[in-house]
A and B are shown apart, each in its own frame.
Chain A
């Protein structure tokens, strides 16, 4: 099978055919600890801004 594993769930002519799907790099980054530590800091800072704007 020549197709890519991560695209296998998209079904022709079905309601999910129009969506986007992550490739292996995007998936890898989700669990890459170093990258996620950076994201953790950024998301926390953004959330703190949202919290402070909300009070």
Chain B
């Protein structure tokens, strides 16, 4: 009997674990180690953050789902890996610390035959003074990265709406809280949901809404921008985004590294080296992401963290980490199998794998401060990669150690992104975008780097309906309800 341990029960890990359990059956064991008792459909946190959905609508209890799937569930967080075992045993193991009430703080070593690291990001609020401490959100801004954060954001938003109703103007500042952030798409969606809600509440004219981000141009989205087929043109996402911001009366600051946050004020440095500050009454700034800080030890107990993990804490996989300057970047730099190069029974998927380099052009201010988006690993790629990795491991278990690995390169993979504004079926709209491939391949698609037949974007009710459907479909799938395997990642 082989044991697969999956670290992290988020989008990627949950997909990997549930498919592995289905494919392996009861002859082998799948263990999920994840610190939260609930699964969260993170994209819908945006609607929670404007008070249009409750936390309960975007989360559900993991224990009954894992019981149904025959998965061993440990409500715990992984601390360290011993891929060679220790002095008393050759068997690899992971050390976990329980988070569930009653067992909190106790540790256990779980032996494994295969392991998947799907621990997602550490929300590194602490990287910007005033934004928070470590992975904890500070007191001056709000966040929509977790369902609890989003509930708090909605409460703060409601306070601002009440203040505006009393006749006092309010300033909203939404975007990224550091020069090396990713996830601009989430902030983009949130700013337009706020704008929509303020309109609905009849206080839009009392609000100054501003975007601040580390993108060098509006519409970069961490993928170096994209060209979308519209009206017979391949239109840059810069035009698309600037048009939307203008239409909705939202101003923007770009190329910004937020370097300090105080009560009601964000300080920033721009790509041209100048400094500025922006006042706010309400601010949602996405934190930079890092790996969750897992350690790795060799058999003799020596620290091999730097062998297994990149300096940013994400796990090294089969990527080309030596591509160098952006002129040398190739689509083939991106990982295909997500296997760790040192330990072949170790894989990483979703946000937890270390990308070879950014997708956006690297930039820094004359003061030497790097200001450019880091590459996103959004929901669809995270799910697809999770499934491919699970497939590889199941094949190794069922067909033998030499079974070929499955591939899921982000340079051969698309992503669909629907940024909604509003939740009502007939009064909301959404910018629906697909991008293919996520990582541009300038050899295969000279010019834009992408297939413009499948890279498109448009605004309308249709995208909004898709967003609604995706919400219900993905929660249905994650709960392993009838036909879940038919719903694509």
Contact with B along A25-55 (1 / 0, CB 8 A): 0000111010111011001101111111111
> Which B residue sits closest to A55, measured CB to CB?
B384
Please tell me the size bucket of the interface on B: 35 or more
Pairwise interchain contact B246-A19, C-beta atoms closer than 8 A: yes
Pairwise interchain contact B460-A50, C-beta atoms closer than 8 A: no
Pairwise interchain contact B463-A43, C-beta atoms closer than 8 A: yes
Pairwise interchain contact B243-A36, C-beta atoms closer than 8 A: no
Q: A30-B461, A39-B458 are in contact. Are A9 and B249 (CB under 8 A)?
A: yes
Kindly state the separation between the CA atoms of A22 and B412 in the bound complex, as whole angstroms: 33
**Which residues does chain A contribute within 8 Å of B488, judged by CB atoms?**
48, 51-52, 55
Of A22, A29, A31, A35, which is within 8 A of B243 by CB?
Answer: A22
Kindly state the separation between the CA atoms of A16 and B251 in the bound complex, as whole angstroms: 8
Pairwise interchain contact B416-A31, C-beta atoms closer than 8 A: no
Pairwise interchain contact A43-B466, C-beta atoms closer than 8 A: yes
Which of A16, A18, A50 has the largest number of chain B CB atoms within 10 A?
A50
Kindly state the separation between the CA atoms of A1 and B463 in the bound complex, as whole angstroms: 35
Pairwise interchain contact A18-B465, C-beta atoms closer than 8 A: no
Pairwise interchain contact B462-A54, C-beta atoms closer than 8 A: no
Kindly state the separation between the CA atoms of A46 and B452 in the bound complex, as whole angstroms: 12
User: Chain B's interface: helix, strand, loop or mixed, by majority?
Assistant: mixed
Query: What's the least CB distance linking A36 to chain B, in Å?
Result: 4
- From 1 to 34 in chain A, residues with beta carbon under 8 angstroms from any chain B beta carbon are 6, 9-10, 15-16, 18-22, 29-31, 33
* B436 in the interface (beta carbon within 8 A): yes
Of A31, A44, A51, which is within 8 A of B414 by CB?
Answer: A51
Interface contacts (Cβ under 8 Å), in number, total 91
**Which residues does chain B contribute within 8 Å of A18, judged by CB atoms?**
242
**Which residues does chain B contribute within 8 Å of A19, judged by CB atoms?**
239, 242-243, 245-246
**Which residues does chain B contribute within 8 Å of A36, judged by CB atoms?**
460-462, 465
Pairwise interchain contact B454-A53, C-beta atoms closer than 8 A: yes
Pairwise interchain contact A46-B434, C-beta atoms closer than 8 A: yes
* B337 in the interface (beta carbon within 8 A): no
Pairwise interchain contact A47-B434, C-beta atoms closer than 8 A: yes
> Which B residue sits closest to A47, measured CB to CB?
B416
* B37 in the interface (beta carbon within 8 A): no
Pairwise interchain contact A43-B429, C-beta atoms closer than 8 A: no
**Which residues does chain A contribute within 8 Å of B466, judged by CB atoms?**
40, 43-44, 47
Of A31, A35, A49, which is within 8 A of B429 by CB?
Answer: A31
* B310 in the interface (beta carbon within 8 A): no
Q: A22-B247, A54-B380, A54-B384 are in contact. Are A43 and B432 (CB under 8 A)?
A: yes
Pairwise interchain contact A30-B239, C-beta atoms closer than 8 A: no
Query: What's the least CB distance linking A54 to chain B, in Å?
Result: 4
Kindly state the separation between the CA atoms of A47 and B414 in the bound complex, as whole angstroms: 9
**Which residues does chain B contribute within 8 Å of A51, judged by CB atoms?**
380, 414, 416, 488-489
Query: What's the least CB distance linking B170 to chain A, in Å?
Result: 19
* B405 in the interface (beta carbon within 8 A): no
> Which A residue sits closest to B436, measured CB to CB?
A50
Pairwise interchain contact B461-A16, C-beta atoms closer than 8 A: no
**Which residues does chain B contribute within 8 Å of A52, judged by CB atoms?**
488
Query: What's the least CB distance linking B53 to chain A, in Å?
Result: 22
* B252 in the interface (beta carbon within 8 A): yes
Pairwise interchain contact A43-B252, C-beta atoms closer than 8 A: no
- Residues of A near any B CB (own CB < 8 A): 6, 9-10, 15-16, 18-22, 29-31, 33, 35-37, 39-40, 43-44, 46-55
List 18 additional contacts besides A29-B460, A50-B434; criterion CB under 8 Å.
A9-B248, A16-B246, A18-B242, A19-B239, A19-B245, A19-B246, A31-B461, A35-B460, A37-B462, A43-B462, A43-B466, A47-B416, A50-B436, A51-B489, A52-B488, A54-B381, A54-B413, A55-B488
